[in-house]
């Protein structure tokens, strides 16, 4: 999020695009044949792009991932992202260029990954619970700085095989960061955690979780919720409202500290439905 609060940006590099209808239909046997750089730019000059590319357009080594004309590179102290994409969703009467450079500079680093299920089939690694971001876009022409976060998810089975729903939120604290994570596994078993990251990246798992704070449903009637003191949080902006996914900004209090959070909700039962699977190719074109 930008310091002024008018702009937001989410970038996800997919190897084996978990939301790809093509990857799902293929049986998910070759993740490198289903890669994408998803760029969601919110606020003035909003853009959204997620073009899936085949393995011939993908290169990677220990520090760099190239997906088509875009790239993600770790310099040793920052993650540098070069974006060269087109917003060319089917049904949109124009193809708008999405191009620029983004730097994510971690302020804290965390070496620990967490298993999200007892079998260890799904993992989440909060690489930088607290970071700064520098955005310099050419198309659209805008630049800003703000707060950021960097994480990674990886697993050995599809998300919908492991989970029904999850809710996640991240907030910068005065010196560190808070992350809350909860959901329902496919077995029907709930899970929940509240993590406090210190400035040096040390993570503390809170034994007592704040109460659940229900949030209003989105226009797509996506259920949202988070954790907050006294079970109260306010949605200040809904950045993304999709049939199975929502991304929002919240204001609340966590462990006595007023915070602004980025919150996400994901409904994998909706994602796996035939109606949503039919709709996805209109949102996610594939080349190669």
State the pTM of this model: 0.94
Any domain includes 257:
yes
Q: Is 17 helix (H, G, I), strand (E, B) or coil?
A: coil
Look at residue 2 and tell me if it is in a domain.
no
Residue 1 lies in a domain: no
Q: Identify the domain containing residue 151 by its residue range.
A: 8-287
Whole-angstrom Cα distance, residue 130 to residue 175? 9
Answer whether residue 210 is part of any domain: yes
Confirm whether 3 is domain-assigned. no
Domain count within the chain? 1
Q: Is the pLDDT assigned to residue 115 strictly greater than 80?
A: yes
Any domain includes 41: yes
| Eight-class DSSP state of 119 | T
**Secondary structure (DSSP) of 61-104:** -SSEEEETTEEEEE-SS-EEEEEEEEE--TT-S--EEEEEEEEE
Measure the CA–CA gap between 100 and 195, rounded to whole angstroms.
33
> What does the pLDDT look like over 256-276, one tens digit per residue?
999 999 999 999 999 999 999
Residue 60: inside a domain, yes or no? yes
- For residue 53, the surrounding DSSP H or E stretch is strand 52-53
- Cβ distance 206 to 197 under 8 Å? no
Q: Is the pLDDT of residue 83 over 80?
A: yes
pLDDT for res 39: 97
**Is residue 276 included in any domain, yes or no?**
yes
pLDDT tens digits along 155-195:
999 999 999 999 999 999 998 999 999 999 999 999 999 99
pLDDT in tens, 46-61: 999 999 999 999 999 9
């Amino acid at each position: 999020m930008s310091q002024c609060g008018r702009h937001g940006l989410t970038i996800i590099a997919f190897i084996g695009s978990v939301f790809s209808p093509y990857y799902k239909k293929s049986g998910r046997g070759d993740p490198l044949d289903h890669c994408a750089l998803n760029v969601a730019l919110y606020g003035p000059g909003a853009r959204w792009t997620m073009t899936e590319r085949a393995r011939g357009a993908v290169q990677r080594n220990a520090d760099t991932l190239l997906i088509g004309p875009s790239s993600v590179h770790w310099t040793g102290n920052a993650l540098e992202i070069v974006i060269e994409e087109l917003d060319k969703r089917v049904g949109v009467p124009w193809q708008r260029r999405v191009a620029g450079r983004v730097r994510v500079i971690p302020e804290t680093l965390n070496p620990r990954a967490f298993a999200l299920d007892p079998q260890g089939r799904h993992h989440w690694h909060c690489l930088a619970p607290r970071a700064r971001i520098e955005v310099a876009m050419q198309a659209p022409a805008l630049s800003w700085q703000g707060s950021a976060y960097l994480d990674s998810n990886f697993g050995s089975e599809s998300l919908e095989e492991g989970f029904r729903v999850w809710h996640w939120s991240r907030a910068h604290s005065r010196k560190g960061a808070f992350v809350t994570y909860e959901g329902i596994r496919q077995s029907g078993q709930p899970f929940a955690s509240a993590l406090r990251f210190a400035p040096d990246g040390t993570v503390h798992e809170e034994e007592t979780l704040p109460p659940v704070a229900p949030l209003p449903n989105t226009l797509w009637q996506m259920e949202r919720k988070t954790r907050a003191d006294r079970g109260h949080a306010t949605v200040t902006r809904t950045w993304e409202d999709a049939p199975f996914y929502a991304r929002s900004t919240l204001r609340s209090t966590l462990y006595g500290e007023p915070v602004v959070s980025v919150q996400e909700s994901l409904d994998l039962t909706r994602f796996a439905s035939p109606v949503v699977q039919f709709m996805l190719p209109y949102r996610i074109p594939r080349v190669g």
